[in-house]
């Protein structure tokens, strides 16, 4: 990413939207059961991204959260927002396979409604500030047009360690 969120800087190579799960897996290291983004619907370089998470009854966390009354853990809704933000950044990083994104903070997290099997989460993440390899983003998760969760996320882009 650039030193700032300067909109005049040319974006990296264009990516055809929507991004499917195969493209997402090329950008993020997460895999089942922890990959929580199914599709990228929109992307404005250095500005915002909209991604989708389809919540199914087959999610492994529903077995224990809560039997007979399944609710997606709020922390996983925040993780889905973080992964959407990571995708926005990785779409801009030169050679994403050589980088990782660590989330360094979550502020102002609020949970507005439960997320249940059958819901489709619309994950909207917008850059608040970006300097060098550190950034802050605002994330909101919606079910239909109802806000389910929101938070301010901080992150740091690092070089992936070399494999031996």
Average pLDDT over residues 35-60: 97
Is residue 117 one of the residues assigned to a domain? yes
Q: What pLDDT is recorded for position 127? A: 97
pTM equals 0.90
Residue 11 has pLDDT above 50, yes or no: no
Average pLDDT over residues 105-113: 98
DSSP conformation letters of 78-99: HHHHHHHHHHHHHTTSSSGGGE
CA atoms within 13 A on the CB side of 75: 4
Q: Which of 15, 30, 43, 65 is catalytic?
A: 65
Q: How many domains does the chain have?
A: 1
Instruction: Name the pLDDT band for 14 (thresholds 50, 70, 90).
Output: low
Q: What is the pLDDT of residue 16?
A: 79
Beginning with the edge strand found earlier in the chain, give each strand of the sheet holding 146-159 in spatial order: 39-44, 48-54, 120-131, 134-143, 146-159, 99-111
16 domain-assigned: no
DSSP assigned state of 48: E
164 in a domain, yes or no? no
pLDDT tens, position by position, 54-106: 999 999 999 999 999 999 999 999 999 999 999 999 999 989 999 999 999 99
The answer to the question of residue 71 being in a domain is yes
Whether the bond between 38 and the residue before it is cis, its omega within 30 degrees of 0, is: no
pLDDT score, position 162: 85
Q: Residue 25: give its domain's CATH number.
A: 3.10.129.10
Residue 11 located in a structural domain: no
Q: Give the residue numbers spanning the domain of 57.
A: 21-159
Q: Is residue 44 part of a domain?
A: yes
| Catalytic residue flag (residue 69) | no
């Amino acid at each position: 990413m650039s030193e700032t969120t300067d909109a005049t800087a040319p974006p990296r190579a264009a990516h055809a939207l929507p991004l499917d799960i195969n493209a997402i897996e090329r950008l993020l290291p997460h895999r089942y059961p922890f990959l929580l983004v199914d599709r990228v619907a929109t992307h404005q370089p250095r500005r915002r991204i909209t991604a989708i998470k389809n919540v199914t009854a087959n999610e492994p966390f529903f077995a224990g959260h809560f039997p007979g009354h399944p609710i997606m853990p709020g922390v996983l809704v925040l993780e889905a927002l973080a992964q959407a933000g990571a995708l926005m950044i990785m779409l801009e990083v030169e050679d994403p396979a050589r980088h990782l994104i660590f989330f360094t903070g979550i502020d102002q997290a609020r949970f507005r409604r439960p997320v249940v099997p059958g819901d489709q989460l619309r994950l909207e993440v917008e850059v608040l500030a970006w300097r060098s390899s550190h950034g802050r983003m605002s994330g909101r998760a919606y079910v239909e047009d109802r806000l389910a969760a929101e938070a301010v996320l901080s992150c740091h882009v690092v070089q992936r360690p070399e494999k031996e």
